[in-house]
Amino acid sequence: MKRYWGTQRVARVCQVSPATVANWIDQGLLKGHKTPTGRRRVQMGDLVAFLRAHSMVVPPDLEEGNGTPTVVVVEDDPGYLRVLVRTIEKSDLGVEVVEATNGVDGLLEIGRVQPALIVLDYGLPDLNAAQVIQRLLEPGRRLDTEVVVITGGMPDQAAQQLREVGVRVIVNKADGMAAVVEAIRQALGRRKAA
C-alpha cells in the first residue's frame, strides 16, 4: 500500500522548511503531487529515493516501510476544514491528513491513499455521507476502514441509514474539535485492535 507524506513531515525529515519542500516539488526536484485542495503530497518511496540521491539519512520508519496511518478528511466548509486539519496535525494522533472538499474528490482521495480512517461531513455539496459510503460499498468493493461522520445536524432517519451502512460514530460539530479528535483516536484504536 502506498503511503504519502505532507510537506511538514518531509520538511522535518530533510531539516528544511515546508516552503522549501513545496518548492522542490514545484520545480520537479522531489516527485510529488497536489491534492484537489492544493496541498502537496510525496509518496514514501519517492521520498526515500530523494533522500538517498542527496546523501541524506533515511529514517528507520521509511526504510522499513512502516507508514503513518492516513486519515482522509472530507469537508466542504473551508474554515472548518482548515481548523480541523490543523487540530488533527497538532494532536498526538500521529496521522497524515489528506483533505477533500466534496464527495467526488473524497472518493478519489480514498481510492488513492487507502486511508486507515475517513472523517466525512454529512452534508457535502454533491453527495451526502451515506451516498459516499454507498459508492465505497458498490459491488466488488468493501469498506475496510472506519468512518467518522461529522455533522451540524441531520434527521434521525439519516443517522439510522448511516448506521445501517457501517458507520459507528457520528459527531456533532457543536461538540467541538476535541470530540472529533477523540472519535478519531478511538476509531484508530479499534482498527489497531482488529
Res 1: pLDDT: 47
Work out whether strand 4-6 and strand 40-43 pair parallel, antiparallel, or are unpaired: antiparallel
Among 74, 58, 149, 63, residue whose Cα is nearest residue 106: 74
Res. 81: pLDDT tops 90: yes
Pure H helices in the chain: 7-14, 18-26, 44-53, 60-63, 78-90, 103-113, 129-136, 156-164, 177-193
Q: Is 92 exposed, middle or buried (0-12, 13-18, 19+ CB in 10 A)?
A: exposed
Tell me: the pLDDT tens digits for 99-112?
A: 999 999 999 888 87
0.85 exceeded by the pTM?
Answer: no
Whether residue 64 has pLDDT greater than 60: no
Which of these, 169, 182, 123, 117, lies nearest to 143 by C-alpha position? 117
